[in-house]
Amino acid sequence: MKALILGGGGREHALLYSLKKSRVITEAIAAPGNGGISEMCPLFPLNILDAKEVTDLARSQKIDLVVIGPEAPLVAGVADALRHQGILVYGPGKEGAKLEGSKAFAKNFMKRQNIPTAPFDVCSDLDEAKKALVKRTPPYVIKADGLAAGKGAFVVSEMKEAEKIASELLVERRLGEAGQTIVVEDFLKGYELTAMAVTDGKSYRMLPLSQDHKRAFDSDEGPNTGGMGAYSPLPQVSESLINKIEREIIAPTVEGLKAEGRDFIGTIYAGIMVHDGDPYVLEYNVRFGDPEAQVVLSICDVDWGDLFTACCSGTLEEFGEIKAKTTAVGVVMASGGYPGSYEKGYPIEGLERLKDREDILVFHSGTKKAEGKFFTDGGRVLTVVGLADDPRQAREKAYHAVSSITFRDAHYRRDIAWQAFV
């Protein structure tokens, strides 16, 4: 089979790496890709939100399987257009992608399906927002309804500031259409984790739990980012909690989508807050997380080409339980200033020393390759993954590898996986 990977980040590099190891994938291409991906397959620059461009490429390249990495093309309905052409697609259509494309839809879906989540109000004007805020105690949680590139969630301690944010979103349209409706919800205190499952719309298979690190600086301080590192599996999470997550969240999500007639082939991602020992859904994604994909894809004892094909053909029930064969810790190396403004175009040194290591994987996010050299080309530049039998060894390997890579103003957290050792 010939595969096309849509996207150009670390997640897509990890997807390509995993598919290249599959016995059923004989050839692969990527669009638009990045510097690291360019070393593994041909790249095709195109607008991945344009369904016609994507389907034209898939048809001209005789693609059998398309794996869609980011959320935006899924929400835009690119998977629907490809399926209309008879091409296998790992990723939900537009109706299923509403779980991520609309926070209001997701919250109401959870309410209909009795899936645990924080109490909430959906507000479309400032008066509604003020009434929803008055009902709550600080800290106040406000979320833009639509896709906002990780900039649509706010947690503030003062009512005045909460009302200001609501006004900026609903009146001043600070985030455009993404913020024309907002969700105001109760604050839940606890610790976060990520539960992902693959599904063919009927059956599902859980993947090992992972934990992302959203804040830019050590000790979970600083602004939110797209993710500064992740690890998997989670040794501190009990089997009973894993079973509860599956029973109360993943299973009813798959069943609810099916009952509502929303065809869903792909990854269900539940961002979970464990509050007083119980799991609550903070958000859904409809694709692999980034950087969670870089660690989870690397440790599962499965042929990913086989698995994605089974999801697309409705035969996932033939697969057994998916288990972790090792432990992974991934550290994101970012450009200085990220997630704010940053410079790019700096040369990256030291990658060649890690190239042939089986216990170290380096996935490119924001890089470009020119004249045989790699240069920084984004906020998150690399995810460096260490593999070992336990998280402590994996972490040591990851940070040792990070120390051998250099580029100007490189920034990374030094406490990834800290909760595994508490």
Q: Alpha-carbon distance 103 to 285, whole Å?
A: 10
Bridge partners, 205 (sequence order): 198
Q: Kindly report the backbone phi and psi dihedral angles of residue 212, in degrees, each rounded to the nearest multiple of 5, phi listed first.
A: -95, 165
Give the model's pLDDT for residue 302. 96
Q: What angle do CA 204, 72, 233 make, to 5 degrees?
A: 40
Q: What is the pLDDT of residue 122?
A: 96
What is the average pLDDT across 50-58?
Answer: 97
Q: What's the confidence (pLDDT) of residue 347?
A: 98
d(CA 220, CA 415): 9
Nearest to 339 by CA among 212, 149, 72: 149
Q: What is the DSSP string of 352-401?
A: GGGTT-SSEEEEESSEEEETTEEEE-SSEEEEEEEEESSHHHHHHHHHHH
Residue 156 CA, distance from chain mean position: 24
For strands 65-68 and 278-285, give the pairing.
unpaired
Amino acid at 234: L
Degrees to nearest 5, angle at CA 327 with 212 and 284: 30
- With both helix axes pointing from N to C terminus, report the angle between 159-170 and 126-134 in degrees, rounded to the nearest 10: 160
Contact (CB, 8 A) for 82 and 54: yes
Where are the alpha helices (H) located in 135-234, listed in sequence order? 159-170
Q: How confident is the model at residue 100 (pLDDT cuts 50, 70, 90)?
A: very high
- Distance between CA atoms of residues 411 and 392, nearest Å: 22
Q: What is the pLDDT of residue 148?
A: 85
CA 200 to chain centre: 19
Question: Of 131, 176, 175, nearest to 153 (Cα)?
Answer: 175
pLDDT tens profile 79-94: 999 999 999 999 999 9
Residue 224 confidence class, pLDDT cut points 50, 70, 90: confident
Beta bridge partners of residue 419, listed in sequence order? none
Q: What pLDDT, in 10s, does the model give residues 133-166?
A: 999 999 999 999 998 877 788 999 999 999 999 9
The CA distance from 118 to 189, in Å, is 11
Between CA 123 and CA 259 the distance in angstroms is 27
- Say which residues have a Cβ less than 8 Å from residue 332's Cβ, sequence separation at least 6: 10, 227, 228, 229, 291, 365, 380, 381, 382, 383, 384, 412, 413
pLDDT band at 174 (very low <50, low <70, confident <90, very high): confident
Residue 422 has pLDDT above 90, yes or no: no
Cα–Cα separations (whole angstroms), residue 156 to 102, 126, 138: 22, 17, 7
Backbone angles phi, psi at 294, to 5 degrees: -65, -30
Residue 171 pLDDT class (50, 70, 90 cuts):
very high
- Distance (Å, whole) CA 92 – CA 102: 14
What pLDDT score does 150 carry? Answer: 74
Res 149: pLDDT = 76
